Structure 1
Amino acid sequence: MTDVVDLSRLVARVEDGSTIAFGGKTLHRAPMAFVRELVRADVSDLVPIGLANSMDIDLLAGTGQLEAACYGYVGFEAFGLAPNTRRAIEDGTLEAREGTCYTVATALRAAMQGVPFLPIAGLDGSDLLEIGDDYLAEATDPFTGESTYAVRRVEPDIAVIHATEVDTDGNARFDGADLTENLVAKAADRVFVTAERVVDADAFTDDPGSTDVPGVLVDAVAEVPDGAHPCSCPGSYDYDREHLEQYLEAASSGDLEAYLSKYVGPDEDHYRDRAVADRREVLEWSARQSAVSSDGGVDDGGSIEAESRTTDSSGAVTSETASSNAASSDHRHDPEPAIDCTIAEVMTVAIARRLEEISVAFQGFASPLPTVALRAARERAGTTHLSASGAMNGSPAETPLSTEDARLLEGAPAHFSSPEAFDLAARGGVDVMFVGGAQVDRRGRLNNTVAGSWADPTVKFGGGGGAGSLLPLVEEAWAWRTEHRARSLPAEVDFTTAEGNLTYLVTPLCEFERRDGELQVVSIHPGVSREEIRERTGWDVRFASSEVDETPLPTDEELEALERVDPTRVRRSGFETLSALE
């Protein structure tokens, strides 16, 4: 039987030392009201579990309530890294049990099936195997004798999910694709649901097929309006960019106490009054929210510079002119709205042209530029576009900045969960996967884990993500960067998060292909010299031929295609500077 309780009584059921799997993914459908109540109740020594998380884990890291974290990624997509999580891991106060999104999903599946471990494909060459020997291991296939890998079961004490509505028997519904909700609910010992509204037990009987999580799994529910804010609750409200920026500023400066006092306060009524009351109109799901940061740009979540907007190494565009121009333009994501063609268009079109020969491609989170390229290639050549949002061939009017956004499901003929996309890649069903890397070295290895060493990190990045498992499994992996510097393109990465089939890299200076075991320049962008590429690359770069071609500028037709699929120009987010190319 499912209990209907208020939020404080729901959280009172959480013991110190509990392992908690949070539903949702990155900035979407995270159970943030439950997290805030954990802060108020001062529940300690918690171990959160998640595939890809953001503020849910980061807030608890900042309040010192975590003993460890089991994760594939913790970060804020295009808004940068998770300041509190990063700081706690760097100073050794938080134990990091880092894997990939796929290893965490597999660990939860083992719990769901009641087995001690499950085999997993991928991970070849990854240093994650060395740091994760308590939960990742090499194994032998008992039938063939071949080498494989195994993931140890992780059974959460509690799973917490946020739904649009739940009935009094615990049956939960939400708009958008199943991100991780069924996975965590079926793996956990107990399941708690917060929801925008609780409805009568017979409310879903006319359409049982639309129930997303069945009540038989659910132990208790609580009605909590705005319970995912400042993350999104698809169909109800968007994630709150302004509030997230305030949080990131407070967390980056180390002044979290002021944020807690102002917003978290004694209860959710206080929070709604301070954080939501004046934002409802702009956050309404159908509303258009300005996507340019208050400093005029958006951090590059896949960049080594994406530490926080308060540091000198930020990748954001900081021009006051850019901010005012963007705010007054229909191109809300664009720091240079008067310019038709910049390096962002050159890079996007370069990718789109290559995609015309590709059957199936997958883009993960924090990847607006490849998402736009995929949508353009879908329109022109019929490339099948799989999105981290759970969409196949979505066709929204605008490409959203967050590539986990449920708006990418608009017009999609089918939905899927993230683990299902990983499964498809594992069995060879994905031709190209797009990957970001804080570091990419000459051999095409990726580092999304740490700068420095694991034992003594100088910067903690977001985590293994999807690439750590899938780079050896997909036919090809293509990478992109919104800046080109020697420290992010070193001869050797500091930590090998992923090694495998990375065959292509595009940067603001050039295009690389992997030939003879290393990345070589195959195309130089307009206005760029060989000397500049050499100076800004961390290895003795090779050019594929004595006469490397200049990357062709986009045609008028190609630029028009980009404007159709990306009228707000999210493809331009994350670049340090943008100037006209003619």
Structure 2
Amino acid sequence: MSKLATMADAIGSLVRDGDTVAIEGFTHLISFAAGHEIIRQRKRDLTLCRLTPDVIYDQMIGAGVASKLIFSWLGNPGVGSLHAVRRLVEGPGLEIEEYSHFGMVGRYTAGAANLPFYPLRTFADCDLPEVNPNIKPITSPFDDGETLYAVPPLKPDVAIIHAQRADANGNTQIWGLLGCQKEVAFASKRVIVVVEEVVEESVIRADPNRVVVPAMKVDAVVHCPRGAHPSYAQGYYDRDNRFYRDWERISKDEAALTAWLDEWVHGTKDHSEYLAKLGEHYFDDLTPEPAPSGSVDYGAYR
């Protein structure tokens, strides 16, 4: 059964006020288009989760959609701070819950496997357990009774991931830099997949090992080319480093950030209008040359 949906319909039906929402993708394949639609629809009181909340969460939090952030490292990668997040953290407006990268992966993994906790060593000699009561010391039942740390499962209401391609049923293929898209999809109650291309099932079946998220976990498939901009999609377009540098200036000034949201998000009805506003030649320097990978012969029964 086809799960194809518009971005507006997918966000409207699957993201609800008060939800815990995870937009994942590690530098690569970050669904800015979905984040912008959440802003357009003025969702409120969300708990946002992400290993590396960067510019998309700065935009969403600056737009007022979130009351809490569950995260590991945060910042504008290679540039500086997330100034909208910082203003609210330093004021009364945003609750935060911080982990290491591996701590967040452990939480998603425990959620995906329906485990009561995930054990780690990485919080030894770290101050985070002192400020985060969800990081708890435990004693190993094996060996010499080593002290470890446990984090609870994280089961978002909605996971949103961007990918290169999927079929209409939701079988989703990703290549290039992977984050924890698989773990967050299996941990979440509802999953929206945003893709550069929708392909026939035969294309997916011809290269089955590239499937990261299977159809059984997907609720909606949104066809949204260049929907990860200004992050990148391997083989489709490169990271827009100029945008990240510009965001430092924009986000420092609350009025400038509000004006940017009014022009580029609220002032566009969808991602296609956002792209049209960038201009038809904007991606000329961001489009990579073809670099096909070697093919594999899977064989066939006679």
Where in structure 2 are the equivalents of 1:328-339 lying within 5 Å? Answer: none
Give, in angstroms, the shift of residue 246 of structure 1: 2.8
Is 1:55 the equivalent of 2:55? yes
Q: Provide the aligned length of Structure 1 versus Structure 2.
A: 288
Residue equivalent to 1:257: 258
Change (3 A) 1:233 1:186: same
How far apart in 2 are the matches of 1:2 and 1:179? 26
Cα distance between partner residues in 1 of 2:102 and 2:164: 26
Identity %, equivalent residues: 30
Structure 2 residue matching 1:277: 3-state secondary structure: coil
Which residue of structure 1 lines up, in the alignment, with residue 285 of structure 2?
A: 282
Q: Does 1:177 align with 2:169?
A: no
- Deviation of 1:109 after TM superposition, in Å, equals 0.8
Q: RCO higher in 1 or 2 (8 Å CA, sep ≥ 6)? A: 2
Which residue of 1 is the match for residue 236 of structure 2?
236
Counterpart CA distance in 2 for 1:204 and 1:146 is 45
Counterpart AA for 1:131? V
Q: Is the 8 A contact 1:57 1:74 kept in 2?
A: no
| 1:29-108 correspondence to structure 2 within 5 Å | 29-108=29-108
Match of residue 297 from structure 2: none
Partner of 1:114: 114
Equivalent residues of 1:243, 1:275 under 8 A apart: no
Provide the rounded CA distance (Å) in 2 between the counterparts of 1:223 and 1:97.
33
Question: Relative to structure 1, is the Cα distance of residues 110 and 2 closer, same or farther in structure 2, using a 3 angstrom cutoff?
Answer: farther
Q: Which letter does structure 2 place at the counterpart of 1:235?
A: G
Distance 1:259 1:244 in 2: 14
Question: Take 1:286 and 1:178, find their aligned partners in 2: how far apart are those partners?
Answer: 21
Contact 2:107–2:118 (CA under 8 A) maintained in structure 1: yes
Cα gap change, 1:122/1:174 in structure 2, threshold over 3 Å: closer, same or farther?
closer
State the 1:261 CA deviation: 2.4
**Separation (CA, whole Å) in 2 of partners of 1:47 and 1:269:** 27
Within a 5 Å distance, the mapping from 1:153-232 to structure 2 comes to 153-232=153-232
* Superimposed CA distance per residue, residues 459-506 of structure 1 (whole angstroms, 9 cap, x where no aligned partner): xxxxxxxxxxxxxxxxxxxxxxxxxxxxxxxxxxxxxxxxxxxxxxxx
* Counterpart position of 1:15: 16
Secondary structure of the structure 1 residue equivalent to 2:88: helix
**2-side partners of 1:132 and 1:222: how far apart?**
36
Structure number with bigger Rg: 1
Equivalent residue for 1:334?
Answer: none
Contact 2:49 2:71 in 1 (8 A): yes
Q: Does 1:273 align with 2:276?
A: yes
Letter in 2 for 1:261: D
Distance in 1 separating the partners of 2:280 and 2:82: 26
The aligned amino acid for 1:161 is I
* Partner Cα distance (2:149, 2:211) in 1: 35
Measured in 2, the distance between the counterparts of 1:227 and 1:47 equals 22
Q: Secondary structure at the match of 2:278?
A: helix
In structure 1, runs of 5+ residues without a counterpart are: 288-406, 412-582
Task: Output the TM-score relative to the length of structure 1.
Answer: 0.48
Give the Cα–Cα distance (whole angstroms) in 2 for the partners of residues 147 and 199 of structure 1: 49
Task: Note the residue ranges of structure 2 that are not aligned, 5 or more in a row.
Answer: 295-302
* Equivalent residue letter for 2:4: V
Shift of 1:276: 5.2
Residue number in structure 1 paired with 2:135: 136
- Is the CA contact 1:247–1:259 (under 8 Å) kept in the aligned structure 2? no
- Cα separation, 2, equivalents of 1:204 and 1:91: 48
Q: CA deviation at 1:89?
A: 0.9
CA distance in 1 between counterparts of 2:9 and 2:193 reads 13
What displacement does 1:285 show? 2.4
Letter in 1 for 2:23: F
Conserved 8 A contact 2:173-2:204: no
Distance, in Å, in 1 between the alignment partners of 2:147 and 2:246 is 48
Amino acid at match of 2:50: G
CA shift digits 1:434-481 (9 cap, x unpaired): xxxxxxxxxxxxxxxxxxxxxxxxxxxxxxxxxxxxxxxxxxxxxxxx
**Gap change, CA 1:7 and 1:268, over 3 Å in 2:** same
- State the shift of 1:147 in Å: 1.9
CA distance in 2, matches of 1:201, 1:124: 47
Show the counterpart of 1:533. none
Letter in 2 for 1:76: N
Residue identity matched to 2:284: E
**How much has 1:269 moved relative to structure 2?**
2.3
Point out the structure with the larger helix share: 2
- Distance of 1:185 and 1:2 partners within structure 2: 19
- 1:302-451 aligned at under 5 Å gives the runs none
**2-structure distance, mates of 1:100, 1:127:** 11
Amino acid at match of 2:205: T
1:40 Cα shift? 0.2
TM-score by length of 2: 0.90
How do 1:438-517 residues align onto structure 2 when only pairs under 5 Å count? none
Q: Is the 8 A contact 1:262 1:274 kept in 2?
A: no
Name the structure 1 match of 2:299. none
Deviation track 1:324-381 (CA, whole Å, cap 9, x = no partner) reads xxxxxxxxxxxxxxxxxxxxxxxxxxxxxxxxxxxxxxxxxxxxxxxxxxxxxxxxxx
In 1, Cα distance between the equivalents of 2:244 and 2:177?
Answer: 23
Aligned-pair distance for 1:104? Answer: 0.6
Cα distance in structure 1, aligned partners of 2:239 and 2:145: 49
